[in-house]
Chains A and B, each alone.
Chain A
Amino acid sequence: MSAATLLAPDVTAPLINYFAYLFDGENWRWASSSIPARLLEHVAYTLVTLLISAAVALPVGLFIGHTNRGAFLAINIGNAGRALPTFGLLSLMVALIGIGTLPVLVALVVLAVPPILSATYAGIRSVDPSAVQAAVGMGMRPTQVLFKAEVPMALPLISSGLRSALLQVCATATVAAYVGFGGLGRFLIDGLSTNDYAQVFAGALLVAVLAIALDLLSAGAQHAVVSPGVRARADRGGRRTSSSAARSTGRTHPHPQAPTAGTPRQRPNERPTP
C-alpha cells in the first residue's frame, strides 16, 4: 500500500479494503506473529500484570480501609494515577531501565495499582458502620470483621476497581508495542511503520473487541462473586429508573421520582483512562 493511501484513506473505495488484513486466513494460521499468537500474548501479559498489581494493591487498600490509617494516600493516589500520562510513564521506564519486558511490566503495574487501591479503600469505607458494629458485637475478631463483613459488602466497588485496572492495563499494553513490547499493539505499530493501514485497522479493531470482551467477562465475574443481597442494594441505589414508584404513588409529576433522595451511588473510581 502506498504512502498516499495511508495518509488519505480513500473513502470512496469499498470498505472491504480495511478488512483485508483481518480476513486474510494466512494471518490467522499459528505462527509467532500471527493474530492468535498476538492475542494470546496480549491476554497473558494483561492478566499477569493485573495479578501482580492486585497482590500489591488489595492488601494495602484493605488495610487502609479497615484502619482508616493513611486515608489521604488512598484517596490521592487514585487522582494522581489518572493525571499521569500512560505513554510518558512507559517512555520514562524504558529510558531508565532499557528496552525489554521488565520496564513495560513495571509501568503497567504502576498504572494498575492506583485504581485498585483507591477503589478497595473506598469500598471498605462505604460499608454501613452499623453492619460492622453488629459484626463486632457478634464477637468477630478484627480479621473476621474484615473478611466476613466488610469485604463482601465492599465487593462491588473493589471489583469495579479491578475492572478499571484491567482495561487500563489492556490499553496501555497496546501502547507498549511502541517500545518493542509484544501483543496486539504490534499490528498497530508495525502497520503504521510500513504504511499498511489494513494491518493497523485490523489491530485496532482486535484491541477494541478484546477490551470490550474483557470488560463484559469481568462484569460477569463480578456478578458471580457479589452476594445477591449486596447486589440488590447496589442496584436500588444505582439505577433509580423508578417510574413505577412515581406511578404507584399516583403523582402526576412530569419527572420520574427517585425512591431515595440524596447523592447518587458513589463511584469514586469512575472508569479508567482508556
Chain B
Amino acid sequence: MIDYVTANRSVILEALAQHVWLSLLPVLVGAALALPVGYLGVRYPRFYQPIVNLGGLIYSIPSLALFLMLPAVLGLQVLDPLNVVAALALYTFALLTRTVADALLSVQGQATQAAYALGYRPVRQLLGVELPMALPVMLAGLRVATVSNISLVSVSAFLGVTSLGSLFTRGLQLDFLEPIAVGIVLSVLLAAAADTCIVLLQRRLTPWARVSTR
C-alpha cells in the first residue's frame, strides 16, 4: 500500500483535494439556505410540517439517481461537477432545515421570555439569544450533514467527476485492491477530521456548554 501511495502521490492528492471541495462547498450552500427556511418554520408554525415533509422527501432520493436527474433539470453536462455540488447542497438543505427549526424551537421558553422581558426586540433576541442557544443542536446536524456528504461524494465517480471515488472505479477496473483501500481510508479520515473541526468550533462558540451535545 505504501508503494502504491508513493507511486501515485499526485493522483491521490488531486482526488483528495477535489473530494474536499466537492463535499464542503455544498455544506456551506445548504446551511446558508437552511437557516432562513428553518427560521420560517418556527416563525410561522403552519410551515413547519410542510418543510419537514419536503426535507424527508428530498432526503429519500438515492444519491446516484439525483446526480443523474439534475443534468436534465439544470441543463448541465453530465460530467459537470456542479451537478454533484447541487445534489449535495440539496441533501444538506433537506437535513438542516428541520434541524434548524427544531433547534430554534428547543430554545423557546424561559430564555426567550426573559429576553422579551428585558426588552429585547425580535431581531436582537433572535441573533443574541435564540441563535447562540440553538447552536449545539444545529452544529450536531451540521456534523451529520458534513460526514454523510463526504461519504456520498464518492458516488459521483460514476459521472466521471474526479474524487476519492475515482480510486474505487480505478481499483475495480484494474482489479486492484490498493487504490480502493487508500480511498476508503482517506475518506474516513477526512470525515473524522471534518467532524472534529466542527466539534472544536462548537467548543469555541458555546463556552457556556462544556458538555457534548450527545
Contact = CB atoms under 8 A, between A and B. Distances in A.
Contact of B180 (A75, A91, A254, A274): A91
A154 interface: no
A92 to B, nearest CB: 5
Contact of A83 (B61, B68, B183, B192): B192
Interface stretch (A142-150, A172-180, A225-233): A172-180
A117 interface: no
A174 B183 contact: no
A9 B60 CA distance: 26
Given A88-B154, A95-B177, A271-B95, A256 B42 contact: yes
A175 B71 CA distance: 18
- Main secondary structure on B side of the interface with A: helix
A204 to B, nearest CB: 4
A192 to B, nearest CB: 7
Contacts of B154: 85-88
Contacts of A185: 64
Contacts of A179: 172
Contacts of B59: 271, 274
B151 A274 contact: no
Interface stretch (A23-31, A32-40, A132-140, A205-213): A205-213
Interface string A75-91: 10001001111111111
A223 interface: no
A274 B72 CA distance: 20
Interface residues of B, number: 70
A254 B95 CA distance: 26
Interface stretch (B8-16, B27-35, B109-117): B109-117
Interface string B143-182: 0100110111011011100001100110110011100110
B65 interface: yes
A86 B64 CA distance: 11
B77 interface: yes
B63 interface: yes
Nearest to A75: B214
B189 to A, nearest CB: 9
Interface stretch (A47-55, A60-68, A123-131, A236-244): A236-244
Most buried by B among A87, A92, A239, A256: A87
Contacts of A243: 45
Interface in A178-206: 178-179, 185, 188-189, 192, 197, 200-201, 203-205
B78 interface: yes
B91 interface: yes
B128 interface: no
A274 B175 contact: no
B72 A85 contact: no
Interface residues of A, number: 67
A102 to B, nearest CB: 16
Given A84-B184, A212-B60, A262 B172 contact: no
Given A84-B187, A85-B165, 17 more contacts: A7-B79, A87-B155, A91-B171, A92-B180, A178-B172, A197-B78, A207-B64, A212-B61, A254-B122, A256-B45, A257-B108, A260-B109, A264-B105, A270-B144, A271-B95, A273-B63, A273-B152
Interface of B: 42-43, 45-46, 48-49, 56-57, 59-66, 68-69, 71-72, 75-79, 91, 95, 102-103, 105-106, 108-110, 112-113, 116, 122, 137, 141, 144, 147-148, 150-152, 154-155, 157-159, 164-165, 168-169, 171-172, 175-177, 180-181, 183-184, 187-188, 191-192, 195, 214
Interface of A: 6-9, 11, 18, 75, 79, 82-92, 94-96, 167, 170-171, 174-175, 178-179, 185, 188-189, 192, 197, 200-201, 203-205, 207-208, 211-212, 214-215, 239-243, 253-258, 260-265, 268, 270-271, 273-274
14 contacts: A8-B77, A9-B71, A82-B151, A82-B191, A83-B147, A87-B157, A203-B65, A204-B66, A208-B61, A208-B69, A215-B56, A240-B48, A253-B116, A261-B110
